[in-house]
């Protein structure tokens, strides 16, 4: 479920100006680090407690299909001029 989100975050980091958007870059880099840590901890827990692994192997693909929304959440609009 998280790989598509991670891919979107990575794509954002690759496309953004790191200097102008430094606060967002810091937050996203922290999130990506946390996701990597969570993935590692999950693997460790699954090796310690295999009984916690879901029996239904299809649940992840069903939820991923529901979460497969648009790749961009920002809509760019052309600048408008205001006459005074």
**DSSP per-residue string spanning the chain:** -HHHHHHHHHHHHHHS-TTTTHHHHHHHHHHHHHHHHHHHHHHHHHHH-GGGS-S-TTHHHHHHHHH---S-------------
pLDDT tens-digit readout, 23-80: 999 999 999 999 999 999 989 998 999 888 888 888 878 877 777 666 566 666 777 7
pTM: 0.63
Given a cut of 80, whether residue 20 has pLDDT beyond it is yes
């Amino acid at each position: 479920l998280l790989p598509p989100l991670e891919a979107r975050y990575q794509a954002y980091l690759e496309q953004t100006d790191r200097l102008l958007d430094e606060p967002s870059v810091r937050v996203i880099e922290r999130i990506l680090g946390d996701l990597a840590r969570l993935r590692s901890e999950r693997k460790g827990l699954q090796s310690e407690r295999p009984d916690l692994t879901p029996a239904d192997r299809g649940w992840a693909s069903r939820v991923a299909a529901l979460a497969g929304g648009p790749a961009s959440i920002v809509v760019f609009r052309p600048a408008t001029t205001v006459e005074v």
